[in-house]
Structure 1
Amino acid sequence: MQLSVLESAITTAWTRGWQPADLAGYLRRKAGTQGERLVADLIATEMRRYAPTTVDPHWQSQLSAEVWWASEEEFLRRWPERQRNQMFVLLSRLPTLPVLCALPGQARPGASAVQIDPRMLDRVRALLAKAESTDFPEEAETYSAKAQELMARHSIDYALLMASRGTREAASGRRIQVDNPYESPKALLLSITAQANRSRSIWSRDLGFATVLGFPADVAAAELLYTSLLVQATSAMVHAGTPADRRVASFRRSFLTGYAHRIDQRLQQATAAASESAEREHGRAMLPVLASRAEAVTEAVKEHFPDVITTKATVGNRAGWIAGQVAADRANLRTHHGALANN
């Protein structure tokens, strides 16, 4: 099989909604690390077709491999035919996904407005890193509260700014990998975090990722908070229960599920407080703006996932569930509470 055939399969995958990170994660699940490495090389080859200025920045950020071979003959000689055939079968059977950003070669410079101040985002990330690494709850609370304040103010202020300018902003999406082990409670935690940040998370279990739909700043906030909470939950899990408990998979799975459910309760409580605080500052004029954005997110979900279904998490280990809820009570959640108002 010619290398050009595989390159064409990559190009077709782009038109069917896939992005580099999606393909890499999918092939890792289906063909192991060798399949992931091969598709990275194929993507590097295919990307040579496009001028850098015509490739979306988010797309660029997902690219890691570079062309390392001098000729097609060298490449083909170093990769067994069986691997190439397996790759082609997997690529040709990819399901169609929502197209979330401009395809390579179609992006227009400046078309995507910068919605998050990079300096502010760096500060938030630094604060979250400190919150995750400190052993002192009070110190972590201070870091998380400051990060919350920054993201909350930015999210609401940006929405009102766009409304005052008469600018219609569209909901968009981002895919976030949800890997084993314990992918179900991880997907639940992401869904809860997305809803708290005025977004929706649709989990594609067989594909290994979830699609978070919302306005760009809110989606970014959801991803940051989810990543931080997952780090905190994992750290708490390895110290929860007895040594015997920690060796049982059902305990760890139930721990993360209990953690997610308790986090949900705390976020709902925070939503009411954040709504009241924002309304005191901006007045009731903000409510129609946020309601309009909520409707736009709902419409985006209906458009991209018309057949989505809702499932409930199950718990098989009561001790793990209780330990997870206790750990959630100690988590530093206020990172983005101010960004949760959407009632």
Structure 2
Amino acid sequence: MRDDKLLTRIAGLLRQAENTDNEHEAETFMQAAQRLATAASIDLAVARAHDPAARRKTTPITRQVAIGETGKRGLRTYVQLFVAIARANDVTVDVAGNNTFVLAYGYEADIDTCEALYTSLLIQMVAASDGYLRSGDYRGETSARVVRKGTGWRSRRVVERKPLAPITARLNFQSAFAERIGVRLTEARDAAREEAVARDDSRELPAGSTSTALALRDKELEVSSFYKTESTARGTWRPTSASSGYSEGARQAGDRAGRRAKIGADREFGAARGALEG
């Protein structure tokens, strides 16, 4: 069941994160927002475990989320960002072959949280990569990729290095940004779950009640079962492409930007998203 009041509270915390220039304050507000979302998700799971009517009423859903237009370069990093957010919020994702959309499987409130976080973080990710390219810091660096030289039995795999192109710098930057965001959100989620389980351990639960840990496990199994029933996906989606090349410098810059990101959801869904330019 969608909880607009919860989304409003989360958005308020995230706006506070965006409106402060203090990196530590921004981190505190961001983690508070993720932990609030996790706490609400836990409450829902426990409520469903105790109330058969709630279990019947609140079930997993599938939602299609648009990522970008066909042919736009770099959509893979956009998808990577959404997937990182989804993993921290109990949502499973299938990815379209051309990366233009994803299918999210999970509870409605969890998917709402994912979209709110993604909307803000995508804008920040593109803006941060724009700034990185404008700075010119990528110039003078190289990218590396594994290629096969020769033909037949004489062929061999070698590492090819070349000057770092802007599009390769951008893709590496944004990939590392997405990875760092995933780590931050997962840490906040895990802290909220540990607190909830610890509260159970500190008090004697009423006879016949379900523990938080068990309710969360039941929720995980229900989403997993729903996904197996509904998904028609084939193969495994990978966040990076071997053909794009690897740049340690660009990835380090993207990781730093991901650490500093101020997570906010005060922008409307469907706001214009930055284009990837070569």
TM-score w.r.t. the length of structure 2 is 0.69
Q: Which residue of 2 aligns with 1:230?
A: 122
1:162 to 48, 58, 68: 48
Q: Which residue of 1 aligns with 2:166?
A: 248
Q: Which residue of 1 aligns with 2:113?
A: 221
Aligned partner of residue 103 in structure 2, secondary structure: strand
* Structure 2 residues not aligned, in runs of 5+: 140-164, 202-209, 266-278
State the shift of 1:120 in Å.
2.8
State the shift of 1:271 in Å.
4.4
1:297 to 219, 223, 230: 223
Contact 1:187–1:210 (8 Å) recurs in 2: yes
1:198 to 72, 76, 90: 90
Aligned partner of residue 201 in structure 1, secondary structure: strand
State the shift of 1:332 in Å.
4.4
Between Structure 1 and Structure 2, which shows a larger proportion of strand residues?
Answer: 2
1:144-171 CA-to-partner distances (Å, cap 9, x unmatched) read 2442343222211122122222232321
- What pairs with 1:20-59 in structure 2 (closer than 5 Å)? none
The separation in 2 between residues aligned to 1:115 and 1:209, in whole angstroms, is 22
State the shift of 1:181 in Å.
4.2
> Residues 264 and 144 of structure 1: is their aligned pair in 2 closer, same or farther, counting only changes over 3 Å?
closer
- What pairs with 1:24-103 in structure 2 (closer than 5 Å)? none
Aligned partner of residue 117 in structure 2, secondary structure: helix
1:105-159 CA-to-partner distances (Å, cap 9, x unmatched) read xxxxxxxxx441x233223223323433544323423432442343222211122
Q: Does 2:255 match 1:325? A: yes
Contact 1:159–1:290 (8 Å) recurs in 2: yes
Q: Which range moved further: 118-127 or 183-192?
A: 118-127
Letter in 2 for 1:292: D
Contact 1:159–1:289 (8 Å) recurs in 2: yes
The separation in 2 between residues aligned to 1:282 and 1:189, in whole angstroms, is 33
Letter in 2 for 1:176: V
Structure with higher RCO (Cα < 8 A, 6+ apart): 2
Q: Which residue of 1 aligns with 2:74?
A: 182
The separation in 1 between residues aligned to 2:11 and 2:124, in whole angstroms, is 14
Contact 1:132–1:232 (8 Å) recurs in 2: no
Q: Does 2:102 match 1:210? A: yes
The separation in 1 between residues aligned to 2:222 and 2:121, in whole angstroms, is 27
Aligned partner of residue 132 in structure 2, secondary structure: coil
The separation in 2 between residues aligned to 1:187 and 1:153, in whole angstroms, is 26
Q: Which range moved further: 294-303 or 260-269?
A: 260-269
The separation in 2 between residues aligned to 1:132 and 1:181, in whole angstroms, is 28
TM-score w.r.t. the length of structure 1 is 0.57
State the shift of 1:244 in Å.
6.7
Q: Which range moved further: 325-334 or 207-216?
A: 325-334
Q: CA RMSD in A?
A: 2.7
State the shift of 1:226 in Å.
2.0
State the shift of 1:191 in Å.
1.0
Q: Which runs of 4+ in 1 moved over 6 A?
A: none
State the shift of 1:333 in Å.
6.4
Q: Percent identity?
A: 28
Contact 1:132–1:231 (8 Å) recurs in 2: no
Contact 1:145–1:334 (8 Å) recurs in 2: no
